[in-house]
Amino acid sequence: MRRRTLSRLSVAAVSLGLLAALAPSAGAAPGTAPAPDRGHERGHDRAPDHGHAAKPAYKRVGYFTQWGVYGRNFQVKDLDTSGTAAKLSHVNYAFGNIGADGRCFTGNVPGEADAWADYVRPLDAAGSVDGVADTPDQPLAGNFNQLRELKAKHPGLKVMISLGGWSWSTHFSDAARTPASRKALVASCIDLYIKGNLPADGARGGAGAAAGLFDGIDIDWEWPGSAGDTDTVFRPEDKQNFTALVREFRTQLDAYARSQKKHGRYELSAFVPTAPAKIDAGFEVRKIMRDLDFVNLQGYDFHGSWESTTAQQSALFAPEGDFSVDQTVNDWLRRGAPARKLVVGMPFYGQGWTGVTGGGDGLGRPATGAAPGTWAAGSEDYKALKKLAEEGRFTVHRDRSNGHAWLFDGTTLWTYDDPKVLRAKSAYVRGRGLGGAMFWSLDGDTPDGELITAVNGVLGNRG
């Protein structure tokens, strides 16, 4: 299978010469990867162009996880104090769910919805973006109110509601089956998130409680036309139905914007896969791109601990037949996607194996299972992996020609992206004329925003 149309080094090397900063090591072995458990991927941002006509700014889209406020204790305020908010164009809130009735919903349903985190939980002054404690009678609290405060402090920042994700794509196929069901689904999502009509929960919620918070909708259906999570329904006709669903979202969002005399339109994006088979099973690329402002490309989970051999999870380039960022970009371009609408996904976490044997630098070697992680086996936040590297027990390895890094201590291996890798990927985005970068997820970065700073140094303006 043909994977790329340009040489591995030409684009990134010309676009700031950042790949030269990656010291050489071994490459990755070919393989296949399942769909990721990521939420993860508008044209109206503008940046000055030294007196010439303004050009669209690069998108820097970060996913904020609803559940991160608990164990990780990653709050909306941390986006401000870390400096991250000032370096983002969009925050994608993960996730909104779709019920068995084919409608967007929220509530306090374990494993299905968390209204407490979304808009009920009170924040004290120390935990609030604006330094003011929530009151018992205000209709909007929780993450939603903090995001509203964040937008007030950073007026150029946009907030999108992401629908679905790996675990909550269960009912997408059913909801998208007919014109009537699509209309009902889209109307319910717009009512809940764009109009902000939240269910009442004591003093919280009510009509218009979250109005004006969300600037658009991100569709994270994983995956139309092919397998996703174990309970997610999929059908061959999902491919055409996804196109029709995107059209319905675009139609209803535009109609509501007109009714409100909104300046500009509500944005619409989607998270889309890397595997060519999944692209072809679920996406009429040229058609959906007419209605989507951009797509967030899966740029990670190419390999992981579900496989018995260690490999890269997010390489910029890879040998023929393997997954890579470059392969993903080329496969979407080849099917008719405009380059300016392709936003490259970048991981703020690593994939890991333990019980690695065979010596060497550990890559392409057999392993016995998933490496222990703080929150889940086989996965670890970048901030924790950085500490492992600094402690000295793990050695940092780099593949200069393919653009990826990994840690290895002789037994355990973590494949991940650090600032050097992300700068090279950002240079690639510039060199290919792509739309920007997306990050899953913001809670994996360091407290001072080391990773977003690396990307923003390259993509902070266009010129």
Domain definitions of the chain by residue range: 10-459
CA pair distance 341, 224, nearest whole angstrom: 20
Q: Which of 149, 222, 248, 267 is catalytic?
A: 222
pLDDT at 29: 32
Q: Which two tokens stand for residue 101?
A: 């009735």
Q: Kindly report which listed range (20-34, 65-79, 385-399) carries the lowest average pLDDT score.
A: 20-34
pLDDT in tens, 119-162: 999 999 999 999 999 999 999 999 999 999 999 999 999 999 99
Q: Which two tokens stand for residue 463?
A: 């010129």
Q: Answer yes or no: are the C-beta atoms of 168 and 231 closer than 8 Å.
A: no
pLDDT at 442: 98
- What does each C-alpha distance from 328 to 150, 166, 192, 406 come to in angstroms? 33, 19, 33, 21
Q: Which two tokens stand for residue 91?
A: 């925050």
Average of per-residue pLDDT across 342-346: 99
Average of per-residue pLDDT across 14-26: 41
Average of per-residue pLDDT across 335-341: 98
| Active-site residue flag, 222 | yes
Provide the sign of the torsion angle of the four alpha carbons 314, 320, 322, 326, taken in this order: positive
Average of per-residue pLDDT across 384-406: 97
Please determine, for residue 463, whether its predicted confidence score (pLDDT) is greater than 90.
Answer: no
Q: Kindly report which listed range (31-40, 41-50, 161-170, 222-231) carries the lowest average pLDDT score.
A: 41-50
pLDDT at 55: 55
Please determine, for residue 8, whether its predicted confidence score (pLDDT) is greater than 90.
Answer: no
Q: Kindly report which listed range (20-24, 46-50, 236-240, 456-460) carries the lowest average pLDDT score.
A: 46-50
pLDDT in tens, 84-101: 999 999 999 999 999 999
Average of per-residue pLDDT across 226-252: 98
| Parallel/antiparallel/unpaired status of strands 436-440 and 59-65 | parallel
Alpha helix (H) residue ranges in 101-155: 115, 142-153
Please determine, for residue 48, whether its predicted confidence score (pLDDT) is greater than 90.
Answer: no
Please determine, for residue 326, whether its predicted confidence score (pLDDT) is greater than 60.
Answer: yes
Proportion of the chain above pLDDT 90, given as a percent: 87
pLDDT at 56: 64
Please determine, for residue 453, whether its predicted confidence score (pLDDT) is greater than 50.
Answer: yes
Q: Name the class of domain 10-459.
A: alpha beta
Confidence of residue 462 (pLDDT cuts 50, 70, 90): low
Please determine, for residue 27, whether its predicted confidence score (pLDDT) is greater than 50.
Answer: no
Please determine, for residue 425, whether its predicted confidence score (pLDDT) is greater than 60.
Answer: yes
pLDDT at 416: 98
CA pair distance 233, 102, nearest whole angstrom: 13
Average pLDDT, the chain: 90
Q: Answer yes or no: are the C-beta atoms of 305 and 369 closer than 8 Å.
A: yes
Average of per-residue pLDDT across 203-219: 98
pLDDT at 44: 29
Average of per-residue pLDDT across 154-174: 98
pLDDT at 49: 32
pLDDT in tens, 275-316: 999 999 999 999 999 999 999 999 999 999 999 999 999 999
Bond from prior residue into 332 cis (ω within 30 degrees of 0): no
What are the two backbone dihedrals, phi and then psi, of residue 191, each rounded to the nearest 5 degrees?
A: -60, -45
Q: Answer yes or no: are the C-beta atoms of 161 and 270 closer than 8 Å.
A: no
Bond from prior residue into 401 cis (ω within 30 degrees of 0): no
Whether pTM > 0.85 for this model: the answer is yes
Confidence of residue 357 (pLDDT cuts 50, 70, 90): very high
The per-residue DSSP string of 46-111 comes to EE--TTS--EEPPEEEEEEEGGGGSTT---HHHHHHTS-GGG-SEEEEEEEEE-TTSSEE-SEETT
Proportion of the chain above pLDDT 70, given as a percent: 87
The neighbouring-strand residues paired with 397 are: 406
Please determine, for residue 262, whether its predicted confidence score (pLDDT) is greater than 80.
Answer: yes
The DSSP 8-state label assigned to residue 21 in this structure reads G
> DSSP E strands: which ranges in 141-248?
158-165, 198-201, 204-206, 216-221
Provide the sign of the torsion angle of the four alpha carbons 446, 157, 92, 463, taken in this order: negative
Element (H, E) at 354: strand 349-354
